[in-house]
Structure 1
Amino acid sequence: MLLKLAWRNLWRQKRRTLLTASALALALFLSLLTRSFQEGSYNANIDNAARFYTGLIQLQHPEYGESSSIDDVVSGDLEQFPYLKNMNGVSHILPRLESVALAAADDRSKGVLVLGVDPEAEDRYSHISSKVSSGYFIDSDSHAVLLGEGLASYLKLNVGDEIILYGQGYRGQTAAGLYTVKGLLHFPVKALDNQMVICRLSLLKSYTVLGIKSLLGYCTPTLLST
């Protein structure tokens, strides 16, 4: 009986009922659409940060989290981890070497994140070459580096210019390297765009010859993607 009365009452004023129902439907649609955009942007940011920086899984020495010492690192030689290739859900395995340094050009300087990668393996995983907005992607023999657009803008650098990276040596001395900017990258994550320097892995390892062995102290060289 109550349902019948409610149904009749709804259609007693058809225009009012249609307007109310339309307003509720529109509000629900906009709410779901906004939530979808929000969740999509969260997922995109997480995916971008994982692909271009942390990876989905990182392997590091058990003591490294506490010590951050160059003595507590794992090898970047993937042949020492054959079992990883047979793990279910693992699609990519690649080495990375990461550290911090002071980048300088003319009278400007800024603290940066330096990431050493295997160019071919990295591009297969993160498709980073598609983010090159100017210049060219690095190759396995390149002595040049890639910069985020935000960092390049701050340092007033362009393709073909030179950048100096300062680091601390194993015994506390200052060491520096001069490198040519081969390309600029447009990262979807602003924090990376404003501080990222990318070079080939073997080039970053060669810092140890210059005395910047402390760069290895931030090494998390083997990363996996599931």
Structure 2
Amino acid sequence: MRDPIRVVVAEDLFLIRDALVRLLTEHGFTIVAAVDNAPSLRRALAEDQPDIAIVDVRLPPSFTDEGLQAAIEARRERPGFPVLVLSQYVEQLYARELLADGIGAVGYLLKDRVSNAEQFISAVESVARGGTAMDPQVIAKLLTRGDARGRTTDLSPREREVLSLIASGRSNIAIARRLTISASAVTKHIAAIFAKLHLPECEDDNRRVLAVLAHLDH
């Protein structure tokens, strides 16, 4: 039996913070700290050494991007440290920086699109295990800021179609239906995309995010 996943929660609104703590506790997570501001978050990350941080982007005292900045700093100090960001908005610049190392163990969910408890818990577990949990709207917004020219020139027109649908958050089955091809054909196209973009061997979820990031001008 594995030890419970130790979590730091950073959310300035009490009702949301309390709800997150209750939900995570009910599903077997251990809450090592629940804080409402960026300095307390930094202190908890340094002192409690959690397994994952669930962080609101905008925290006191500035209510700008202090939560996300603290998460980025934590990943610089502990490469691959799992971070799940919750936000009302897509903070493009810092979201790109959070994803840029390509290590995985990153999640970015829009608060109003987390439709149920099981979806959220699944995202936390995935990120804690080193996977990714990206809201399709986040990926789509990031994609608009990039320049694919010169990064994906080796892809065929069909492979670029598949990559575009990956960016919109479509599953393999959904891509197959959209393009009226078989699921096995989608799998082959995705394998070709990974190979042509020289993506490292890792979980497919991570490589799907990395493939989309290949569009971006880092």
Report the TM range for the smaller structure's normalisation.
under 0.3
Higher strand share: 1
Q: TM-score, normalised by structure 1?
A: 0.24
Q: Which has the higher helix share?
A: 2
Identify which of structures 1 and 2 has the higher relative contact order when contacts are C-alpha pairs closer than 8 Å and 6+ apart: 1
